[in-house]
Structure 1
């Protein structure tokens, strides 16, 4: 499992106060968890707090970015700044 997927699963477990985060996998559909647009905003804030230098631009979000944990992880990965070469 990718690092971003783990971060998102942790954030979902915190947001939804899940007693067992193992019920959430990369294939889990966010809609199936009851995450609506309001909860999605809270989820983004939790993810931004967990990923250094991440600033999610809501204007870039497309519906396919938040269908599943894996699709959201891909969007987060694309949104992270490229580290400058030393």
Structure 2
């Protein structure tokens, strides 16, 4: 999905200062990475039954509102 700089700037304006800090760190990491490091290779491995079970478990957790706390994700990204 292509995004214009105007749309990106509008999204940035809506973020809190705390969120801006996270986005800024991510952008800096992207700019430091070489183009080959930014490319995510296609996963060409077949889906296993374990994969299907993990997907189903995650979906069930979502339906039960048993989601990962954003604070935990933020902590993981920062460390």
**TM-score, length of structure 2 as denominator length:** 0.25
**TM-score, length of structure 1 as denominator length:** 0.24
Query: Between Structure 1 and Structure 2, which shows a larger proportion of helix residues?
Result: 2
Q: Which protein shows a greater Rg?
A: 2
Larger RCO, structures 1/2 (Cα 8 Å, 6+ apart): 1
